[in-house]
Structure formats: structure tokens, C-alpha cells
Chains A and B, each alone.
Chain A
Amino acid sequence: MKLQLNGEAVESAATTLDAFLTEQGYGEAKVATAVNGSFVPAMMRAGQALSDGDAIEVLAPMQGG
């Protein structure tokens, strides 16, 4: 299925957000996630089903003012 990860097109076999993060190499990284503009808390990722065309944002700590 075709998904968007941080604005880039990716092909994925994952059916849940949890599996998608593992597939994309995030492992145990400290990240926050959103699907189609809505926040998905870490504890809900396993139950978050993904559909073709979904836009996923994966954010992490970064420098800020």
C-alpha cells in the first residue's frame, strides 16, 4: 500500500501504525505520531489501522527557540 511518511511517498506492507514504525526503522526511538493530521498517542499505535494514501507524521525532539 502507498503511504506518505513525513511528506515522502513510501510503499509499506504494515497494516497498523505500530508495525509501520518498526518497518521504517524507528524501533524504540522517542517519537510522536500523527495520521492524517490527528495525533495518535503511543499507546494507540497498535490499534491504529492504516489505509492506502494515509499521511503519517513522525516527529522527534529538535532544537527550538
Chain B
Amino acid sequence: MRDFYGTTLANGFMLGTAQYPSPAILAEAFKRSGASVATVSLRRESGQDRAGQDFWAMIKGLGVHILPNTAGCHSVKEAVTTAHMAREVFDTKWIKLEVIGEEDTLQPDVFGLTEAARILTEDGFQVFPYTTEDLVVADKLLNAGCEVLMPWGAPIGSGLGLNNLFGLRAMRAHFPDVPLVIDAGLGLPSQAAQAMELGYDAVLLNTAVAKAGDPALMAEAFATAIAAGKQAAEADPMEPRDMAAPSTPVIGKAFLS
């Protein structure tokens, strides 16, 4: 497995921590998922209820790698400042860099993303950029210092799966040594398996688990699918073909007509 800035993950499951019905269900979902990475965020804290402190204590207790995000940032300055604040609070160089460029699709602003990635890399961050499957943008992100790429499968929270199989396959072929993560858009375990079968190193998802009727069961289903997809990729799948090819040998067949 390709490593993530020198860290080898136990599996390719990165799971978000938002939108669960309760903290207890979140914890149970993580336990059943076996996920190796948890994504987290920063939001305004009140000096009265200090809600973030309990949340942080619980997340630390999960014993997984922490990947803070810059979700909701629309400008380079906002994303860079948020990254600095996240590095201090979470005590990690890892940052899931989001610079949102369009409200309806939450499509990344790839120009701002590349600039922010360069600034943060020069400042010692290890950037996980939320990007598209565009190969030119990917190349610019790598030149900016990123050692991981995270193309979207579909718009965040849509559950549509892998919208551009051709583009994602091309990305895997074009960057054989770069760790690739499908970030966003997955709705079903079969889509996660498909991503892993393409040779992707991990998937990052949140809504598909958190908004399922039984989040913990869905988390386990995703874990199984991710493991199956990874095994399939390692097993070197057959090439598809247009015409039938009999699997049962024809030689030795009785002449009965």
C-alpha cells in the first residue's frame, strides 16, 4: 500500500465525524468500521458550554489518525488561516484542504486550492487536497508539494458514487506512485469497492454512514466492501471483453445432435 506522507494506514477507510444521530452512535460506527482515519473540523466555541472539548476527548479516544479539514472555506486566506488554527489544536501536520468554488456542487476552486497547497506545504503542512479528477490540476498540486491527491467521486453529500469512471481510471494510470483517495460523493459500499478495484488507496466518506438508518451497520458494510475491493485490485482482475468466451471447455463435448 502506498503510504500517506510516511504513514502506512491499516486500511483504506477514512471516515467523517459529522451528522451522526448521537455521539454514542458515532463512536459505535467508528468501532464497527475499523476506520484508520477520522476527519474533524474547527468551529466557533462558546466559553459557556465549551461543546468542542467533550467532542475532542471522545475523538482522541478512538485511537485513529486525525485529519482536520478546512471545510466551508471559500478563499485561500480563509483556508490557510484555518489550517494554521487546526494544526495548533489537533497537533498534526495533516490537513484536508478544501477551497470551495461553487455552492451548488461544492466543487473545489482548483486555482485557489493549488495556491493554498503551495503556501501550506512551504510552511511544513502535509496537504491532502480535495480536488477533481482533472489531470492538469493534479500535476500542479503535485508540483505545489502535495504527495497525496483526493479527487471527488461526486458532489459532497450526494451519494451518487463515481461520476467519472474514465477520469478516475485515467488518474490512477497517470500517477501510479501517488496515493489517491476518493473523497466525497459515495453513497453505497459497492461504490467504495469500485473505487478500490480501480486501484485507489482509500476512500473518504461521511454522509453515507452517518445518514444511514443504522450507521454502525453501514460502517461495517463499507469496511467489508473496501477490503473486498482492495483484495480484488491486488488479485489483478481480468480484462473485460465485448463478446462471449465459453468458460466450460468445448473439447471433449459429446456429439448429441
Contacts and interface: CB of A to CB of B under 8 A. Distances in A.
A59 B53 contact: no
Contacts, number: 112
Interface residues on B, range: 35 or more
Contact of B16 (A25, A39, A57, A65): A65
Contacts of A38: 81
Nearest to A23: B47
A29 B85 CA distance: 14
A56 to B, nearest CB: 10
Interface of A: 6-7, 21, 24-26, 29-34, 37-39, 41-42, 57-65
Nearest to A62: B43
B41 interface: yes
Contact of B44 (A59, A63, A64): A59
Contact of A58 (B44, B53, B77): B44
Given A25-B47, A26-B47, A29-B53, A62 B40 contact: yes
B50 A63 contact: no
B85 A39 contact: yes
Interface string B14-53: 0011111000001000000000000111111111101111
